[in-house]
A and B are shown apart, each in its own frame.
Chain A
Amino acid sequence: MSMMLRGLMGACAMTALAVPAVAETLTIATVNNGDMIRMQKMTKPFTDANPDIQLEWVTLEENVLRQRVTTDIATKGGQYDIVTVGNYEVPIWAKQGWLLALEDMGEDYDAADILPPIAEGLSLDGKLYAAPFYGESAMIMYRTDLMEKAGLEMPERPTWDFVFDAARKMTDKSAEVYGICLRGKAGWGENMAFLTSMGASYGAPWFDMEWKPQFSGEAWKKALTDYVAVMNEAGPPGASSNGFNENLALFQTGKCGMWIDATVAASFVSNPKDSTVADKVGYALAPEGEKPQMWLWAWTLAVPSSTDAPDAAKKFVAWATSKAYTEQVAAEEGWANVPPGTRTSLYENPAYLEAAPFAKPTLDSIMSADLKNPTTVEVPYIGTQWVGIPEFQALGTAVGQQFSAALAGQASVDQALQMAQQIAEREMAKAGYPK
């Protein structure tokens, strides 16, 4: 054998030894928010510990992501190994057999540490189908200086009447200060997230136990009338176009007295880099009517059944939603920046409680959310600010357009509710309910 041939064979053997088996690439579909972007930057410990796994990130706006991932999973396209989905999708997709159960997440994963309301929303038949990356509920963020000026003191959990009264007293339209900012933009994840949970707090469900729409009921009329009235008197102009981001911008620039929205907003409004009112923000539990306003959302990591790398995918999900990851974020970026709302142990950590003044109301809000009993009457669905049926995305947006029109003054409250009832009856009949 010539020297050259032997040399070549030796080099090949060395290469084979040096390069780990075949590197698996995990394609991870995720949304563009602060916590997810932070995770993308912090994967070094994982890739160092797993040199045979490479990560490919696909970041999309959440509605685009939802459409893209649904198409891929429903057609078994197999483009993604890990997907970021909300707790609305998880039970529906798990039922369809689109997600793998996350049963073997490793010895130190401690699944029992996941907050019970969050774990319950991500499980089907007792099996966890997605691991929560961060969880959120709703709360009131308010301007302490304006509240004081109005001569009021915010209770730990105010009633709706207190909130409406405070909103009117805090409003100073000549100074462009509006007492209350609420979502008005039409969409199942925009105004209907807020109004579904507000309605439930008034005792207004979407459906009765026979899946008959309930928009013609008195509770819905009272909820929508109160919402439109307070927004007209104490809300910002053009509120029917305002979603989470628009209200966040208004609050951060000092134009809102109160804002009731997702708890994740607390870290934005209290950040002095972005918010002009960071040092004047107080937090309270979401208002109470017949029942407290409930809200429960979690961005989770799930493994589609169409993946060709299930073991590697589960390994990554276990790492990204572990206690160790939380500690890594705390060490590198501080406790205030760790993903909130998923693990009990985080809320027992004094360092976190000290760094995040919104931790207690966030935990209390999450723990008080009851997905199965969102309102005063029995309902056939799960969900607090959404209804856990596949039809809800389209139906919620169609009803949201009617409610947004009522806010904009293009329809009366009665007309909007009548239209909502008709739309819901038609869509539910078309979808074959009761099933």
Chain B
Amino acid sequence: MARKVTNSRRWTFTILAWGVALLIFFPILWTILTSFKSEADAIASPPKFLFFDWTTENYAEVQSRSPYFRHFMNSVIISVGSTLLGLLIAIPAAWSMAFQPAKRTKDLLMWMLSTKMMPAAGVLIPMYLLFRSWGLLDTRLGITVVLMLINLPIITWMLYTYFREIPSEILEAARMDGASLMKEILHVLTPMAVPGIASTLLLNVILAWNEAFWTLNLTTSRAAPLTTFIASYSSPEGLFYAKLSAASTMAIAPILILGWFSQKQLVRGLTFGAVK
């Protein structure tokens, strides 16, 4: 039986939801506002919210100082590339764990997840030496593979959760109709799991886009993505908050726009199977 929601209750929840959303979004909003201030207005006390001399000179300065487009393209290639590569490996792995579980599958999944708990700095030097030996320092290929490996446990876990919601009888029926393993995964499983795969893809693109430890340490200039672009505007000796905000806004804008347009898929994917 549907519960009747009173008007006042609905308004309360709406205001509460907007309040929480604004609270979460406020740092981004403040960054965007600061990017249009002069450096003096950026540190003004009390802070100036809307009434200041709006300027776009920070954007002009950032544009003239850094090859934004090169960093942007690197971010796109690295984040999308690492996610697609991860999906290519994780889909068969998740299929096997969801539909052909072995005695230790659960342990294996937990172990995979535990690798995410390891502090990245602990393996920096070995990784750096490997990259140096293989000539992968400051290459898109190298950083793409590293980000794929970092996000692979999450991709596998997410896909495993989605696949488990799909009745195994459907796959068995396909097998009885003579479908090969490849066809079963490609033509039966994958189309049914599209919402889950899409949300995994989007979430991992966002994670890879925002990754800063490995991208800062393993790339220098040619393969450097937008995270290094932002880092170049941070300074402990000199107030460049407005320029830093302009660089940050330019770096997060593409992923914010992507998130805005794909929010339906993201929410759908993240809540997939939550309510049976």
Interface residues, chain B, with chain A CB atoms under 8 Å away = 38-40, 43-45, 65, 124-125, 128-129, 132, 137-138, 216-217, 220-221, 224, 228, 231-240
Contacts and interface: CB of A to CB of B under 8 A. Distances in A.
Instruction: Decide if the interface of chain B is mainly helix, strand, loop or mixed.
Output: loop
A9 interface: no
Contacts of A63: 236
Contact of A68 (B43, B216, B234): B216
Q: Chain A at the B interface: mostly helix, strand, loop or mixed?
A: mixed
A64 B216 contact: yes
A62 B216 contact: no
A60 B236 contact: no
Contacts of B39: 273-274
Contact of A58 (B220, B234, B235, B236): B220
A71 B236 contact: no
A173 B173 CA distance: 79
Interface stretch (A28-36, A93-101, A374-382, A403-411): A28-36
Interface in A360-416: none
Contact of A273 (B40, B137, B233, B235): B40
Given A71-B128, A75-B128, A273-B40, A56 B137 contact: no
A62 B221 contact: no
Given A64-B216, A252-B43, A56 B238 contact: no
Nearest to A253: B45
A245 B221 contact: no
A80 B129 contact: no
A239 interface: no
30 contacts: A29-B220, A31-B237, A32-B233, A32-B240, A33-B238, A58-B224, A58-B228, A59-B232, A61-B234, A62-B237, A64-B231, A64-B234, A67-B217, A68-B216, A72-B128, A75-B125, A75-B129, A76-B132, A77-B132, A78-B132, A79-B138, A245-B236, A245-B239, A249-B43, A249-B45, A252-B40, A273-B38, A273-B39, A273-B40, A274-B40
Interface in A228-248: 243-245, 248
Nearest to A67: B217
A75 B233 contact: no
A61 B235 contact: yes
A71 B132 CA distance: 11
A44 B192 CA distance: 59
Interface string A25-55: 0010101111001001100000000000000
A255 B217 CA distance: 39
Contacts of A189: 236
Contacts of A76: 132
B45 A40 contact: no
A58 B238 contact: no
A319 interface: no
A420 interface: no
Interface string A181-209: 00000000110000000000000000000
Given A68-B216, A78-B132, A249-B45, 9 more contacts: A57-B221, A60-B231, A61-B235, A79-B137, A245-B238, A245-B239, A253-B43, A262-B237, A268-B238
Contacts of B231: 60-61, 64
Contacts of B45: 249, 253, 255
Contacts of A71: 124-125, 128, 217
B215 to A, nearest CB: 11
Contact of B217 (A29, A68, A275): A68
B132 A75 contact: yes
A260 interface: no
Contacts of B129: 75
B235 to A, nearest CB: 4
Given A32-B240, A33-B235, A248-B239, A60 B228 contact: yes
Interface in A253-309: 253, 255, 262, 264, 268, 273-276
B217 to A, nearest CB: 6
B138 A32 contact: no
A78 B137 CA distance: 9
B212 to A, nearest CB: 9
Contacts of B237: 31, 33, 62, 244-245, 262, 264
A57 B233 CA distance: 13
A300 B239 CA distance: 21
Contacts of A190: 236
Contacts of A244: 236-237
